Amino acid sequence: MKVTEIPVTCLVDSRDRLGEGCFWDVASQTLWWLDIIEPSAIHRLHVASGAWRKWQFTEKVTAMASRRDGTILVGTHTGLAIFNPETGALTPWRKIDPGMPGNRGNDGACDARGRFWFGTMMNNIGPLGEDLDITASTGRLFRVEADGTTTVMETDVGVSNGPCWSPDNRTFYFTDSKAHIIWAYDFDLDSGTISNRRVLNDTKDHGHPDGATVDAEGFIWSARWEGSCVLRIDPKGRIDRLVPMPARRVTNVCFGGAKLDTLYVTTSRAHIPDQDLRRHPLQGGLFCFNPGVTGFEKHRFAG
């Protein structure tokens, strides 16, 4: 493993309590991300001009995917909603996992056919934003079709995170942050099915694996909660590179920029000890660095 001291820039000192859900929109050349803890927020940054806008909500927003009409599919505490940037309205669309009221939505992403893969977990955020213990692996992974039909794809998940795919769409990666495991599955793009689950990487040396994405060379970039870094992991599960970050809780990553050669990184500020905030005062901000490799725009939702 190589530790790479890459210059890291804080683009927005957004002070997110739990930043997440980032994606790059090629058409508008904007970066989108969110803050999960209520009042939740959706952020939009036009990187070239620095124009930053923020919308706030009383419902947790936890994941996002763009849609062809300019609206955004949003994972929420209880299901899925549609966000309209023109009006600022967040309109409920589908309930997810209604039989598990103790769960909440978490990370999600679309496959190359536009199906949204959305994970749940035991709710760990109290009504005042306080941390709640995760005492059981009650989370599930859902595949959501364009018409809203949902299929349970995985069960007994501690903290659902990091759904992403290999460049050839033959491998699906999924993270259980509670278990410290990034799983790999065989993936059938036509049917949207997964099989042959195996451990890709289960290191406990660099915090918990959180959000993830894949670069053009097929390597996985894994944000590390409590790890103060982003890891680059090869398709066989070996750690190729560690990029230190000026934040203790690193939550999600995505490729963007005009050439898709910038890695954008979200972080969390909630419940960070004062000494850590003094050391890294920009925790909770949106960061970026040049990883030396290109990536992919995240797929749009087909609905």
The residues carrying an active-site annotation are: 210
The DSSP-derived string for 244-275 is: E-S-SEEEEEEEESTTS-EEEEEEE-TT--HH
- Distances in whole angstroms, Cα of residue 42 to Cα of each of 54, 57, 59, 172, 226: 6, 8, 11, 27, 23
Query: Position of tokens 């959706």?
Result: 42
Query: Position of tokens 């490799």?
Result: 293
Phi/psi of residue 275, each to 5°? -65, -35
Residue 66's DSSP bridge partners are 72
- Distances in whole angstroms, Cα of residue 161 to Cα of each of 120, 128, 251, 260, 281: 9, 23, 10, 22, 26
What's the DSSP call for residue 141?
Answer: E
Q: What's the CA gap between 181 and 131, in Å, rounded?
A: 22
Q: What's the CA gap between 52 and 43, in Å, rounded?
A: 7
Burial of 33 (0-12, 13-18, 19+ CB in 10 A): buried
